[in-house]
Amino acid sequence: MTLAPNVYDAEPIPEAARAEIERLLTSGDLFRYTSADDSPVALLEREFADMIGAKYALAVASCSAALFLSLKALGLPRGARVLIPAFTFAAVPSSIVHADCVPVLVEVGDNYRIDIADFEAKLDGADAVMISHMRGHTSDMDAIMALAEERGLPVIEDAAHSLGTEWHGKKIGTIGKIGCFSFQSYKLLNAGEGGILITDDPDIIARAVIMSGAYEHNWKKHKGPHGENSPALQEAFARWQNQLPLYNTRLGNMSAAMVRPQLAEVPRRVRDGRQNHDYVAGQLNASPWLTVPKKLAPEDRAPDSIQFNLVGMTDAEAKAFQDAAARRGVKVQIFGLSTDNARAFWNWQFLGDLPELPRTRAMLMRACDARLPARLTREDCDFVVEALVGAAEDIKSPELAYGT
Ligand SMILES: *Cc1c(COP(=O)(O)O)cnc(C)c1O
């Protein structure tokens, strides 16, 4: 009998990181601003910007820090209203609270994407938009950008989990004014912790760089597109010198040294992750009790997990499904049924008054989440399929169930 695949372990850090890490251990050169230029963090920023096709990148301590700095870099006043999808990770509304702004939650449909009618209805009175591509599911960016641009609202993309995803062939994270990515271990690039912010706007990057902790003249170590000196950037830095608080949320050289050799792995991880996902999705959709929502037409996804909805099950049956899947070796989380889940908006009690969002709530009560890393083999994927389809049969049609 095949063993349950380990879906939690990350891939090993590429061997190429070893020499650089050894050099950093020997020299103690861990702070990005110690070396004259070209620190590992600066090189990572340049390589990431070139890979994604952005003019500027700033590596920071986390994607949450990148989201917070994005709001500060846009110069949003205290109390500014920022639209976010109600299906996201608690760190996203938290970054808005941190920036003294107010999150406005928008309904999300059972395809995990923003409900555009509710988005449009909530735009009046909004000051900015932060789109979380939650679990790598892209909302309708054509509609969102058109509606936001009509009103002159800046769009921040939370692409923490969307590295490698494309929309009409354009990389996610480059559609809005600012894009933010994560290097936390469950994301496509793994530094343990870390994040990066990208933009084409010299004023925004200058403000974000200074506030991330480029005190005094350390900003001189930040260059323009392709590592060249850029007069527009120099002017922006001069304009903001001594005008902004320093939040000191930088990335260290050791983290950058671990991420840099992984950049070359991105296309393989994207390809294999998508292949695994689409294979498993096809098999799950054959079950009458499981459904994987279709991606939107302009979207090419880069998944490392799978989300699917339970069909025709009560709360009790949904919980029993979760238990049956666990007995069969696959851990599934139903966002709304697991206690204190950080992706269920009613647990964001730090926001105070929480709105009622019936569509999002209904989705969360039946939406399942299972990890499906790119490194899984076809045999591993078959194990996951059998466990999930079998668990649904255990509950809905025990006479059909596969043996355990
Ligand atoms: C992981 C994640 C974050 C937070 O990233 P950190 O780097 O851990 O701060 C934010 N949004 C989404 C959609 C995520 O998946």
pLDDT 10s digits, 89-131: 999 999 999 999 999 999 999 999 999 999 999 999 999 999 9
Q: Taking a C-beta distance cutoff of 8 angstroms, is the pair 194, 259 a contact?
A: yes
As beta bridge partners, residue 104 has: 83
Dihedral angle over CA of 190, 191, 192, 198, nearest 10: -90
Tell me the average pLDDT across 193-207: 98
Q: Which atom of ligand 1 is nearest to the CA of 134?
A: 13
Predicted pLDDT of residue 35 = 85
Dihedral angle over CA of 371, 375, 379, 385, nearest 10: 20
Distance from the CA of 25 to the center of ligand 1, in angstroms? 29
Q: How far apart are CA 210 and CA 196, in angstroms?
A: 15
Q: How far apart are CA 290 and CA 56, in angstroms?
A: 42
> To test the ligand 1 pocket, which listed residue (58, 60, 89, 181) has its Cβ within 8 A of the most ligand atoms?
89
Q: Is the pLDDT of residue 259 over 70?
A: yes
As beta bridge partners, residue 106 has: 85
Q: Taking a C-beta distance cutoff of 8 angstroms, is the pair 249, 70 a contact?
A: no
> To test the ligand 1 pocket, which listed residue (112, 137, 158) has its Cβ within 8 A of the most ligand atoms?
158
The model's pTM: 0.97
Q: Tell me: the pLDDT tens digits for 231-245?
A: 999 999 999 999 999
Q: Taking a C-beta distance cutoff of 8 angstroms, is the pair 67, 92 a contact?
A: yes
Neighbour-count burial of 372, counting CB atoms closer than 10 A to its CB (0-12 exposed, 13-18 middle, 19+ buried):
buried
Of the pLDDT bands very low, low, confident and very high (cuts 50, 70, 90), residue 402 is low
Distance from the CA of 186 to the center of ligand 1, in angstroms? 9
CA 253 vs. chain centroid, Å, equals: 22
Collapsing DSSP to helix, strand or coil, 19 comes out as helix
> To test the ligand 1 pocket, which listed residue (58, 63, 183, 369) has its Cβ within 8 A of the most ligand atoms?
63
Predicted pLDDT of residue 69 = 98
Provide the token pair at 42: 């600066």
Distance from the CA of 23 to the center of ligand 1, in angstroms? 30
Which residue owns the Cα nearest ligand 1 atom 10?
160
Q: Give ligand 1 pocket residues (Cβ under 6 A).
A: 62-64, 88-89, 91-92, 132, 134, 158, 160-161, 182, 184, 195
DSSP 4: P
Distance from the CA of 87 to the center of ligand 1, in angstroms? 13
Q: Tell me: the pLDDT tens digits for 5-57?
A: 999 888 999 999 999 999 999 999 999 999 878 999 999 999 999 999 999 99
- Letter string b/e over residues 226-252, b meaning 16 or more CB atoms within 10 A of that residue's CB: ebeebeebbebbeebeeebeebebbbb
User: Who's near 231: CB < 8 A, 6+ residues apart?
Assistant: none
Q: How far apart are CA 390 and CA 400, in angstroms?
A: 8
Q: How far apart are CA 350 and CA 110, in angstroms?
A: 25
Neighbours of 378 (CB within 10 A): 10
Domains of the chain: 16-264 (3.40.640.10), 266-402 (3.90.1150.10)
Average pLDDT score over the chain: 96
